[in-house]
Amino acid sequence: MNRKELDAFVAHHGLAPEAVEVALDISGARPSAPEMRHFAMSLLQLAGVLSLAAGVVFFVAANWQDFGIAGRFGLVQIVLVVSVALAFWRPPPQRIGRCALLMAFISTGALLALFGQTYQTGADLYELFLTWAVLGFAFVVAGQWSVLCAAWLLVLNVSLLLFFGWRPQGGWLWVLFSPWHVSTSLLLLVPTAINLLLWMFTRYLTRTQWNALAPGWIGRFALACAFGYATWAGGYAITQSPVGGHDWIALLAVLGLEAAIAVYALRMRSDVFPLTLAAASLIVLGTLGLAAHSGAHDLGIFFILAIWLIASSTISGRILMSLVRAWRVEGQRA
C-alpha cells in the first residue's frame, strides 16, 4: 500500500494519530527494524564496492608519474584477480560474489583505459566502452544480478552513443558501418534496434531460470534507451530541410516501431510504460516538427508550441490513466 493510498484512507476515516500508527504497521507501509538493517547493509555494501571501484578509476585517470607503468598495471590487475577470486570463493547468488563481480566488471574498464592511456593505442573512446562491454559480458552472466546487468547496459549504450552520435572514423563499428552511405537518422535506427532486441530478450528471460538477470526495471531501461535513440532518429529526420528520402524512411520506421510496441503493450494489458514512452516520443517529435515546419514565426510559434505541449500531454495523460485504471481493475479481478 503506497503513501498516497494510505493518506486518502486515513483522511477518509479521519483516523487519530494512534490509529494511523496502527494502520501503518498493519499495512506494512513501514519496514521493520530487521528490514531496515538489511536494506542499510545492502546499500552500504553496494556504495562501498562502487566507491572502491571509483577509487581505482580515479587512480588510473590520475596518471601518477611517480608510480611506474608496471606498478599501475599490477595494481589494477591485482584488484581484478582478487575480485574474481572472491567471486569463486563466495559464488553468486551470494552477495559477496555478486559485489566482487561488479568490482571485476568495473576493473576491466579501468584496465582497458590504463592500456589505452599507457600505450596511446589511438583507439577511439567508443572502442574502449565497446571492448569493455564485450569483455565484461562474462561477469554479467556469471553474476546473474540486475545491478551488473544495468552497469553492462549502461556501458554498451555509452559506446553506442559515442559512435552513432559522433560518428568517429575508426574502430570495429566504423569498419562495419562505413560502407553504408545512409543518413544519420537511418543509422540511429541501429542502436534503437539493438536496445529493442535487448528488451525482447529480457522479456524472454523472465520466463526462464535466468530471470534474476533481467527484472522488469532492466527491460524498462533497455526500452527507454531504444525510445531515446528512436526519438533522436525521428527528431533528426523531421528537422531536416528539406526532409530527404532516407529521413522519410527513418521517420516512418520510427513511427512504425513505436506503433508496433504500442499495439504489443495494448495486447498484453499489463504495463503502460511502453505506451508512456511512445507518448513522450510523439510529443517530442510533434514539438520538433511544429518548430521546424509550421511556417509560423516568433510570437505564433511560441503560442502554437505551448498549446501543442499542453494539449498533447493532457490527451496522453488522460488515455494512459484510463488504461492504468482499467488494467488495475482487470489485474485485481484476475
> For residues 184-243, which are near another protein according to CB under 8 A?
217
256 touches another protein by CB under 8 A: no
Question: Which residue lies nearer to another protein by CB, 259 or 329?
Answer: 329
15, 125, 134, 161: which one binds another protein (CB under 8 A):
15
Q: What is the Cα 44 distance to its own chain's centre?
A: 23
**What is the sign, positive or negative, of the torsion defined by CA atoms of 84, 90, 92, 94?**
negative
Question: Which residue lies nearer to another protein by CB, 9 or 248?
Answer: 9
CB 249, min distance to another protein, A: 27
User: Peptide bond preceding 31: is omega within 30 degrees of 0, i.e. cis?
Assistant: no
Site for another protein in 165-184 (CB under 8 A): none
Question: Which residue lies nearer to another protein by CB, 183 or 231?
Answer: 231
- Say how far apart CA 92 and CA 99 lie, in whole Å: 9
Site for another protein in 61-120 (CB under 8 A): 61-62, 64
Per DSSP, helices labelled H in the chain are 3-13, 17-26, 33-62, 69-89, 95-119, 125-143, 146-166, 171-177, 184-187, 189-205, 216-238, 245-268, 273-293, 299-333
Question: Which residue lies nearer to another protein by CB, 90 or 176?
Answer: 90
255 touches another protein by CB under 8 A: no
What are the CA-CA distances from residue 20 to residues 2, 3, 6, 123, 244 (Å)? 14, 12, 9, 61, 63
18, 169, 241, 242: which one binds another protein (CB under 8 A):
18
CB 212, min distance to another protein, A: 18
Question: Which residue lies nearer to another protein by CB, 6 or 141?
Answer: 6
Relative orientation angle of helices 95-119 and 33-62, to the nearest 10 degrees: 10
* Segment near another protein (CB under 8 A); pick from 29-37, 136-144, 163-171, 244-252: 29-37
Nearest C-alpha neighbor of 175 from the set 123, 225, 134, 136 = 123
- Say how far apart CA 241 and CA 297 lie, in whole Å: 16
What are the CA-CA distances from residue 125 to residues 4, 32, 107, 122, 140 (Å)? 45, 46, 17, 9, 22
CB 246, min distance to another protein, A: 29
141 touches another protein by CB under 8 A: no
Site for another protein in 310-329 (CB under 8 A): 310-314, 316-318, 320-321, 324-325, 328-329
Question: Which residue lies nearer to another protein by CB, 121 or 314?
Answer: 314
> How many residues make contact with another protein (CB under 8 A)?
87
38 touches another protein by CB under 8 A: yes
